């Protein structure tokens, strides 16, 4: 039997008013890929932050043993010296430094106190080759794709002589092809270098593909550990452990809410890149959404989905924008985000932490931020009214928190996403564009967000749902627009289309690009 590499015994961690971890146990063996799953707020990231020293010894109770030795980490440096390296969901890279500089930041290659740049870039190339990253180590990180930045983080870990690699949602921003490269790399590192891994992911198909064993957390407690090698571990079995109940349907049923009136229409919309004005990122796109309709926009990364939505939303992205917007049949001229909000158009960004929420502020402040005049009297914020509105949205969206004065940064990902939805529903939109509304959200919270989307459709809202998950598009949308290379290449009714149909259309269109 393989040797135990890591043991976490009876780990308990409390924050003010919240017990995040309650007597949690976790064991990882040498050469094992171990998955950690659970709903948002189950305690997965908190447990890994305890292990890696983000939460130092003394801020929690319980014991940690690594390679048979007790650990009392006071910082990340302590855990990294043992070979425990964590890669967070928000990558810890500095965009305007080179690949080599990022790789050895805090671990500089020096001779007598002076950085040896030749050695830095030479060693960077060695570690880059191990992860299949074929780039110039002098290239700035900002010029790498998100998938390649994820590979760089793994290379950084190898440069620290990693023995246990922790990855928190490593594929949440990646397409299927790039996600598989990351997973195959973990399998390769286990086989060739004996590196153990702990992977946190909401993508259960990836868990089934890569994990040897799966530990399920729920409400801060260990529910069970499943052996993926010997047991028959279905996605339904994992979900039951995560949410504590059977979920026979991933997508809630919705009655026919589509009305005959077209609520929103885009005609011949063209957008050029903000930094490279000769590059067209949205090319003559036309689409329409009826009131009460959920219309999907699907495309691979780089297809122009987000650029389309942001440029519509008060020209928040792009330059040399042309085309026509119609709301209720009337032309719209939107030159700024405030004008878009005033026209009852809202955009829920795909990046809630960077451009969607003010993490250091309260739930109350975040929800009312989109239209503060609605909670103001004579130009001054009415604190009681603001709190009342926030409380009503907390109940309506089931935001799980002891108080609406809680800072958003202390909420789970699923609850943060509900706050972001609440912020834009509070703005009283008629047209709502949702860009990856369930990214990084567990299966239970996803279902709740889908219910919110359905309720908005029943109110007669015109909804555009942008997603990189085909099952989500097919499960939630009435019609689907397929984008590739900035263009709409197909408009499909949901009842007569499959995932294979959509991907085949994209592949055929891409072949035309290669042959052009």
| Interval 106-131 mean pLDDT | 89
Q: How confident is the model at residue 64 (pLDDT cuts 50, 70, 90)?
A: very high
pLDDT tens for residues 265-308?
Answer: 999 999 999 888 888 999 999 999 999 999 999 987 778 999 99
pLDDT score for 516: 39
N-term to C-term CA, the chain: 57
| Interval 31-50 mean pLDDT | 89
b/e per residue, 448-464, with b = 16+ CB within 10 A? bbbebbbbbbeebbbbb
DSSP type of residue 372: G
pLDDT score for 245: 65
Alpha carbons within 13 A on the beta-carbon side of 348: 30
Q: What is the pTM of this model?
A: 0.69
pLDDT score for 392: 93
Nearest by Cα to 348 from 376, 316, 372: 316
| Interval 472-493 mean pLDDT | 93
Nearest by Cα to 160 from 118, 198, 199, 109: 109
pLDDT score for 506: 86
Q: How confident is the model at residue 441 (pLDDT cuts 50, 70, 90)?
A: confident
Is the per-residue pLDDT at 17 higher than 80? no
pLDDT tens for residues 188-207?
Answer: 999 999 999 999 988 888 88
Q: How confident is the model at residue 107 (pLDDT cuts 50, 70, 90)?
A: confident
Winning range, highest mean pLDDT, from 227-236, 271-280, 483-492? 483-492
pLDDT tens for residues 170-182?
Answer: 887 777 778 888 8
pLDDT score for 31: 93
Question: Distance between CA atoms of 119 and 116, rounded to whole angstroms?
Answer: 5
Name 224's bridge partners: 216
Question: Domains of the chain (ranges plus CATH)?
Answer: 4-243 (3.40.50.300), 262-344+429-515 (3.40.50.300), 358-416 (no CATH)
| Interval 225-245 mean pLDDT | 81
Q: How confident is the model at residue 514 (pLDDT cuts 50, 70, 90)?
A: very low
Q: Identify which has the larger pLDDT, 259 or 246.
A: 259
């Amino acid at each position: 039997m393989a040797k135990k590499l890591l043991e976490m015994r009876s780990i308990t961690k409390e924050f003010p008013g919240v017990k995040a971890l309650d007597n949690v146990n976790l064991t990882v063996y040498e050469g094992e890929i171990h998955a950690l799953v659970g709903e948002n707020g189950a305690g997965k990231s908190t447990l890994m932050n305890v292990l890696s020293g983000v939460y130092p010894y003394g801020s929690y109770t319980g014991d940690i043993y690594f390679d048979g030795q007790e650990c009392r980490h006071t910082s990340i440096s302590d855990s990294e010296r043992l070979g425990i390296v964590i890669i967070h969901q928000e990558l810890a890279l500095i965009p305007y430094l080179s690949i080599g500089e990022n790789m050895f930041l805090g671990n500089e290659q020096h001779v007598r106190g002076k950085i040896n740049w030749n050695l830095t870039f030479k060693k960077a190339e060695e570690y880059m080759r191990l992860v299949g990253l074929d780039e110039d180590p002098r290239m700035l990180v900002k010029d790498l794709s998100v998938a390649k930045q994820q590979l760089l983080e793994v290379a950084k870990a190898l440069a620290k002589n990693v023995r246990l690699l922790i990855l928190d949602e490593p594929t949440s921003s990646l397409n299927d092809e790039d996600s598989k490269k990351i997973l195959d790399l973990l399998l390769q590192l286990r086989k060739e270098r004996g590196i153990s891994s702990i992977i946190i992911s909401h993508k259960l198909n990836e868990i089934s593909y890569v994990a040897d064993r799966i530990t399920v957390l729920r409400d801060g407690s260990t529910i069970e550990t499943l052996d993926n090698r010997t047991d028959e571990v279905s996605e339904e079995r994992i979900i039951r452990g995560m949410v504590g109940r059977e979920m026979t349907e991933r997508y809630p049923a919705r009655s026919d809410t589509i009305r005959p009136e077209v609520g929103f229409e885009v005609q011949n919309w063209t957008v050029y890149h903000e930094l490279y004005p000769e590059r067209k990122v949205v090319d003559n796109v036309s689409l329409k959404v009826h009131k009460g309709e959920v219309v999907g926009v699907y495309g691979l990364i780089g297809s122009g989905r987000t650029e389309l939505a942001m440029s519509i939303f008060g020209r928040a992205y792009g330059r040399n924008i042309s085309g026509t917007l119609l709301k209720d049949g009337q032309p719209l001229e939107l030159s700024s985000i405030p004008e878009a909000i005033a026209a009852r158009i809202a955009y829920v960004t795909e990046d809630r932490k960077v451009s969607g929420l003010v993490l250091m502020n309260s739930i109350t402040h975040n929800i009312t931020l989109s239209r503060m005049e609605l909670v103001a009297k004579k130009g001054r914020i009415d604190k009681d009214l603001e709190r009342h509105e926030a409380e009503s949205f907390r109940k309506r969206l089931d935001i799980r928190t002891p108080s609406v004065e809680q800072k958003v940064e202390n909420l789970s990902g699923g609850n943060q996403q509900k706050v972001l939805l609440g912020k834009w529903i509070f703005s009283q939109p008629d047209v709502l564009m949702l860009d990856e509304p369930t990214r990084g959200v567990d299966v239970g919270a996803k279902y709740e967000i889908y219910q919110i989307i359905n309720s908005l459709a029943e109110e007669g809202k015109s909804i555009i749902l942008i997603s990189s998950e085909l099952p989500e598009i097919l499960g939630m949308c009435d019609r689907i627009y397929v984008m590739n290379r900035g263009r709409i290449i197909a408009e499909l009714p949901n009842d007569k289309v499959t995932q294979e149909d959509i991907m085949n259309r994209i592949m055929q269109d891409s072949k035309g690009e290669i042959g052009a």
